[in-house]
Structure 1
Amino acid sequence: MFSRSGHRRGTMRRASNSARCSSVLPGLSRVTDPYYRKSALLSRPLQKPCLRSQASSQPLHSKAPRTRRSWLHSPARLLLFCCCMLNCLWCISPSCTAAAQPDIEYDPEGSRLVGRFLHITDIHPDEHYITDGSIASSCHRNSTDDDDDDLKLLRPGRTDGGVGGFFGAPYSICDSPFSLANATFDWIDKNLMGNIDFVVWTGDNARHDSDNMHPRTQKEIEDLNRIIANKFLETFAPDKDDPFQQRIPIVPSIGNNDVYPHNIMEAGPNRILQHFSEIWADFIPESQYHTFQHGGYYTSEVVPGKITVVSLNTLFFFNQNAAVNGCDDDDEPGTEQMDWLEVELESLRKRKMTAYLTGHVPPARKSYSPSCFIRYTDIALRFQDVIVGHLYGHANIDHFFILSQSTLTGSGIDDEATDNKDLKKTAFTAGQSLSSSAQMSLEYKYGESEESAVPLSPLSRRKQAWENDSQEDEFDPFHQLGLNSYLLELWSQYEDIPKHAKYNDYAMVFVAPSVIPTYNPALRIYAYQLAIEKDRPIEKIEEQSEVLEIQDEEESSSAEDDVDDDISLDGEKKKKKKRKHKKPKKPKKPKRPANPPAAPPITFGFPLSYTQYWVNLTQANLEPHKQPEFQVEYRTREDYGMKDLSVPHWLSLARKIVTDNRMRDQYLAWMVVLTGTENDHF
């Protein structure tokens, strides 16, 4: 395989003269061509002939005019020479070249790419998990007498009335047993080695703090992160028989449960980042080491000169991190990270490279601080010619959501939201959960300015967070507000897509389901564009001036919808007039260029599709002595009918989900990884 950025390059070209002349080239016994890997004929060592000048006992500078003349005057040899010359002339012709060399791109290392990568997230191993442990105790005990039921309502899933199986408890609050984590890596080793080019790993490698009888400790969290890191190193270890092969790039990100207390991280350098810089030393490029120690973010050039994966430290954007203040001030770590991200993307733009932005907590309005959410959205839209994907975890549910230009021009950040923020801050101060009415209010109005919060110093909030680390995700919108409430806004996004939408006004965020059986364990494998066929022009999705028309299946209602849109637009104008006199405090909205760069064409690195894999955990628990197999759950190309993963196809799918009942039901079933629990939320 190919080496990651920062490692020595061209090792094949640096072979010594003696190695070149050996009868068998070392390290080439393993065939790397994905199309012929299973061929028995190509499994033999590749032979390389020696140069006659090296094998001959005669010095290289010796002259032998008689020998050369007699060779040329030999009729048989002269005929053979002419045939060879004709053959060479034929082989350098365009027709022969096209037939002899497959139209496949190679990375600069000389290794063949396969055009796929793995996204794995939220493993959450739990050393306290016991088979047949009660779900009410987080699968930690057989008895439920001393369980704290208050903690069990903070995450989706069953809280009582069952026990955990050998490989885990599907649709429950229990974390992953080590048997599931080991089975996952075993399946990856058996099925994916040699079939992927790099790995995106988006964090949460420690258990939740959901059991008061077994509170988490900093040492336990560090140990679990080290165990999972070593598991990646072991699974993706280079072939010992191939001295030229190196480990494929693995790009990890820090999760909100990878730190103690959960959600909390102060500006770096700090002890947490020092710990991760040690256990992730094999994953972080040397050139990025100091950047990571400072902020927990970095870049990895997974395909040198072509594709970069940007690993973000989303804890500095997360609104539950009481140790920082979002992206409001220039000296905030969140602001510094955003500034760094812009510089990196500008550099990638000049180099004409593509980038995937990855991290743990997705850039949702209810999860990021308002200032960070707006800044991220602005960057996502301004760098559409560079960014080809936003890959995140954390939520456990399989879905996608939309970042749009409307967030920057009319984000709904007004003083009405201040009351909701105050309500949330007051509840946080009192250590109480929000009422259902407050949750619904926050659902639609969260996006307020942090400047208008009730007085509560960062030091006080940080101290309270340390004292209450066991209050698992109390105000995490993915958990405390509930899946029902979250999906209300998601559905609203899908429904609000206009019939005529400019492609450059939107960016898509892909949220992958987790290994932890909050529903069923899952993995995702993306396929990306590797080579452009020479007989087909590069497909341009859309220019900035062009307009994408999304057809609604119910064309009869188009006139009514247009009228509604006009009414809504008039209403917005009236609201804006009223707001001019109130002058509410709100985060600064970055100015977007009038003509931002056009979105990228379908070119090298662009995501074409993904295949979602899952484990039927109920069935796997019936056969505890048999390794569970990840099966294909769905494919975007076949099951969604998406030609590629460009924004127009996602917008079309979103419209179809809210207008086609059959597609909606299927989307919801896949969202909860075929646990059959979609009706519990809708």
Structure 2
Amino acid sequence: MLRGISGPWGAPATVCDSPLNLIDATFDWLEKNWKNKLDFIIWTGDNSRHDNDENIPRTPTELFKLNKFITEKFLKTFSNMREQAPHFIPIIPSIGNNDIYPNNIIGAGPNELLSIIHDIWSPFIPKGQHKTFLDGGYYYKEVIPGKLIVVSLNTLYFYNSNTAVNGCKEEGQPGTIEMKWLNDVLKKAYKLGMKVYLTGHVAPRAKQYTKSCYKQYGRLSLKYQDIILGHYYGHSNMDHFFFITANGVKKGHPLDDDNEVLSLDDDDLYEEEEEIVDDDDDDETVEDQEKQINENENGKIVTKVKNIKKYMKKLLNHYRTLPPLTDDVVKDYAVVHINPSIIPTFFPALRIFKYNTTEVTNRNTNAISDLDAPSRKNTFLTPLGYTQYFINLTHANLYPNVTPEFTVEYTTWDDYFLKDLTIPSWIQLARKIVNDGLTGLNSALWEKIQEHLLVGTRDLINRKSQSSYQQCIYSKCRAKGPEDYIASELSF
């Protein structure tokens, strides 16, 4: 048991989950400020608490009750009474690895797990796609009829921690079937002149997806790059972006080549399995780890917060691989976004996007040059930017009787100077991060990126890692802080 780390609105920079107060405050703010102003909502999953407390293990019943609770919050917040029945804007949820029991593990459908989630999410799943969801947990929704669809992927079939399935290579595997379905959806959207957002929980990266799934996802992303407006994922809770490259997903290319692909693993920060990370020896063996565990007098696993800095350096090195911007270069890249979460590990955050609504009429969309696609050039449906809102929980907890409001953390136009969110704009931003300053390490822009990556808690986490103020009540051991969990899950 720990003393002095919690607060009425959540325990910032800890591994604690969101309290109900914070969830209520979030939906109250959304209803007050955005109820009738949004066109659609992308919701990337993980609605149940993490299984961190040995004394209170999660149960399937609790897990599904929490999923239903959040679903009802969305329906209530964004419903409008029209005629005699309530209607709501398109809401597109995806299955998170902690939305299922046991976490990470889901087999081929149809199965009881998908049936339960289907029943909870039934209001969100379009007519004609209920069987698709029951079979695999994925679907798509036309958020602007005839013009724009959002594809909700079941990324757990691609996730290498899901031991119930085996990638996207063998016929009959659920990942293989889902990739074929995704290809069909994208092919149909292309023929109809429609644009697409891809979304899910676990992001496509070389150490989170199986090799076959990662490569297939990357190839589809580049093949249909002109109609895909964005790739939005959650899972790690950290705010950053990275690139899938043509070299990284071509046949025969090694996926562990850091010069070509971002081979980082920022798996869920709350996995029960932990590892020791020694910054001075990346080749440490399992035997070495066991030896260190046995030698630790408290039986605790030791980790170091400076691995966060190592993660950031590796991200910067990834940006350094980007060549000067040309039309040919753009065709070889897709941009993947990790979006922050309503969770106190970092300050809770959400994003409101703007997009181009000026439609060109009397024009054959399929005849438009690939270079004029809205993913590459500011035109109809191009995402223009977003405002990231957050709650500073340290400040909010000083006023327990005042419901906190989300405030602006940053915007892409004011802080990153982006005119739009096209692929060329993100490539230019990454190159600017590297080129500002002699090394890129000391540039003001890179400092912003690092601060935003931890959603405002960078200094707080560093201070906590250097402080012993969190004391165990019933023993003299040093209490685990967020840096222990964060560092242990960022293996390289």
Give the TM-score of the pair, scaled to structure 2. 0.79
Tell me the SS of whatever aligns to 1:609: strand
Runs of 4 or more above 6 Å deviation: none
Structure-2 residue corresponding to 1:224: 66
Give SS of 2:414's match. Answer: helix
- In structure 1, the partner of 2:467 is none
Secondary structure of the equivalent of 1:677? Answer: helix
- Residue in 1 aligned with 2:348? 521
1:269 partner SS: coil
- 2:235 maps to what in 1? 394
1:654 aligns with 2:419: no
Q: How many angstroms apart in 2 are the aligned matches of 1:220 and 1:438?
A: 42
1:497 to 322, 334, 348: 322
Q: Answer whether contact 1:338 1:376 (CA < 8 A) is retained.
A: yes
Match of 2:456 in 1: 674
Tell me the secondary structure at the aligned position of residue 286 of structure 1. coil
Distance 2:444 2:320 in 1: 16
- Separation (CA, whole Å) in 2 of partners of 1:640 and 1:229: 34
> What does 1:367-386 correspond to in 2, within 5 Å?
367-386=208-227
Contact preservation (8 Å) 1:326, 1:372: yes
In structure 2, relative to structure 1, the CA distance for the partners of 1:519 and 1:542 (3 Å cut) is: farther
Does residue 213 (structure 1) correspond to residue 55 (structure 2)? The answer is yes
Distance 2:280 2:181 in 1: 36
- Of the three residues 645, 650, 668, the one matched with 2:421 is 645
Question: If you compute each CA radius of gyration, which structure gives the higher value, 1 or 2?
Answer: 1
Structure 2 vs 1, CA of residues 439 and 284 (structure 1 numbering), >3 Å: closer, same or farther?
farther
Counterpart-to-counterpart distance in 1, 2:28 and 2:375: 39
- State the match for 1:350 in structure 2: 191
With over 3 angstroms needed to count, the CA separation of the structure-2 counterparts of 1:484 and 1:288, relative to structure 1, is farther
In structure 2, C-alpha distance between the alignment counterparts of 1:245 and 1:178, rounded to whole Å: 25
Distance 1:202 1:543 in 2: 29
CA distance in 1, matches of 2:281, 2:11: 28
User: Counterpart amino acid of 1:350?
Assistant: K
Give matches, 1:547-558, under 5 Å: none
The residue aligned with 2:106 is: 265
1:254 paired to 2:95: yes
Q: Which amino acid aligns with 1:308?
A: I
Q: Does structure 1 conserve the Cα–Cα contact (< 8 Å) formed by 2:279 and 2:307?
A: no
**How far did 1:487 drift?**
3.2
Q: Deviations over 1:335-358 (max 9, x none)?
A: 110000000000000110000000
CA distance in 2, matches of 1:401, 1:224: 32
Alignment of 1:379-528 (within 5 A): 379-409=220-250, 411-413=253-255, 433=275, 436=278, 440=282, 483-501=308-326, 502-528=329-355
- Tell me which of the two structures has the higher relative contact order, counting C-alpha pairs closer than 8 angstroms and 6 or more residues apart: 2
Partner of 2:388: 612
The structure that is helix-richer by fraction is: 1
| SS of aligned partner of 1:305 | coil
Q: Show the counterpart of 2:165.
A: 324
Equivalent in the alignment of 1:287: 128
Change (3 A) 1:202 1:599: closer
TM-score, normalised with respect to structure 1: 0.58
Q: Equivalents in 2 of 1:598, 1:664: separation in Å?
A: 27
Which residue does the alignment assign to 2:401? 625
Render the CA deviation track for 1:91-150: whole Å, top value 9, x for unaligned. xxxxxxxxxxxxxxxxxxxxxxxxxxxxxxxxxxxxxxxxxxxxxxxxxxxx34xxxxxx
- Counterpart in the other structure of 1:574: none
Output the CA distance in 2 between the equivalents of 1:211 and 1:503. Answer: 46
Contact 1:542/1:599, CA 8 A, preserved across alignment: no
Against the structure 1 CA distance between its residues 237 and 598, is the aligned structure 2 distance closer, same or farther, given a 3 Å change threshold? closer
CA distance 1:179–1:498, change in 2 (3 Å)? same
Question: Partners in 1 of 2:36 and 2:406 — Cα distance?
Answer: 17
**One-letter code of the match for 1:606?**
T
| Structure 1 portions without partners, runs of 5+ | 1-142, 145-160, 422-430, 443-473, 547-596
**Which ranges of structure 2 fall in alignment gaps of 5 or more residues?**
264-272, 285-300, 437-442, 463-482, 488-492
Verify the 8 A CA contact 2:13 2:347 in the aligned structure 1: yes
Corresponding residue number in structure 1 for 2:155: 314
Residues 374 and 380 of structure 2 are in contact (CA less than 8 Å); yes or no, is this contact kept in structure 1?
A: no
Residue identity matched to 1:631: T
1:198 correspondence with 2:23: no
Distance 1:221 1:280 in 2: 14
Partner of 1:19: none
1:214-245 CA deviation, whole Å, 9 max, x = no partner?
A: 111111111111111111111112136x5587
> In the TM superposition, what is the alpha-carbon distance from 1:604 to its structure 2 partner?
2.9
Q: How many residues align?
A: 420
CA contact (8 A) 2:375 2:423 kept: no
Which of these residues, 366, 376, 379, is aligned with residue 603 of structure 1?
379
Q: Give the Å deviation of 1:488.
A: 4.0
Question: Percent same amino acid at aligned positions?
Answer: 45
Aligned equivalent of 1:303: 144
Query: Does the Cα contact within 8 Å between 1:504 and 1:599 map onto a contact in 2?
Result: no
Q: Quick one: structure 1 residues 639 and 500, their matched pair in 2 at CA, closer, same or farther if it must change by over 3 Å?
A: closer
User: Following the alignment from structure 1 to structure 2, what is the Cα–Cα distance between the partners of residues 522 and 500?
Assistant: 31
C-alpha separation between the residues in 2 aligned to 1:215 and 1:436?
30
Contact 1:384 1:598 in 2 (8 A): no
> Counting strand residues as a fraction of each chain, which structure ranks higher?
2
2:291 — aligned with what? none
Specify the code of the residue in structure 2 equivalent to 1:624.
P
8 Å CA contact 1:542–1:598 kept in 2: the answer is no
Q: Distance in 1 between matches of 2:356 and 2:256?
A: 42
The answer as to whether partners of 2:229 and 2:375 remain within 8 angstroms in 1 is no
Cα distance change, pair 412–505 in 1 and its aligned pair in 2 (3 A): same
User: 5 Å matches for 1:58-137?
Assistant: none
- Corresponding residue SS for 1:239: strand
What corresponds to 2:181 in structure 1? 340
Whole-Å separation in 1 of the counterparts to 2:317 and 2:190: 33
Q: In the aligned structure 1, how far is the partner of 2:418 from the partner of 2:325?
A: 19
Change (3 A) 1:492 1:414: closer
Taking the aligned partners of 2:173 and 2:116, their CA distance within structure 1 comes to: 22
SS at match of 2:113: helix
Distance 1:285 1:481 in 2: 46
RMSD: 3.1
Deviation at 1:434, TM superposition (A): 5.7
Cα distance change on mapping 1:601 and 1:520 into 2, 3 Å: same
